[in-house]
Amino acid sequence: MFADPQTVTYNAVAKSLACISRSSESSVYRLNDSATNSIYTLTLSHSFKTRNRAVARIQRESITTDPLSSSTNIDVSMTATMTIDFPNAGLTPVDAQMLGNCLTGFLSSANVLKLANGET
């Protein structure tokens, strides 16, 4: 199991997310950040069946002004997910680690911005 709390960095600011749920296959960490009026939720999970799957998911929920009605606030959210999917035989967790490292190495700040802007 991962340590409690987990720290993530958003906009160069470290956020400490406390564990709010644990099971044998997942853990959920959350921070209700009153300074930014946002909720950060980190979910770590796995499933080891016919194929092995490990998922890290971070979500940010915020309240912001409705662009169609400036007197109204709306809830908005965004999510970033990394999924590693690999077979039970033939490839090992170390192989999955190397492929995951390959992807996270590619996902530089500049490349994430290009992707978010629609480049492929």
Interatomic CA distance for residues 79 and 31, integer angstroms:
15
Across 92-100, average pLDDT: 96
**Interval 22-50 mean pLDDT:** 95
In this predicted structure, the answer to whether residue 60 has a pLDDT above a threshold of 90 is: yes
CATH topology of domain 6-89: Porin (2.40.160)
pLDDT, average across residues 33-47: 95
For residue 1, pLDDT over 90 is answered with no
pTM of the model: 0.90
- Please provide the average confidence, as pLDDT, over all residues in the chain: 95
Structural domain boundaries in the chain:
6-89, 90-120
Q: Is the dihedral of CA 89, 93, 94, 100 positive or negative?
A: positive
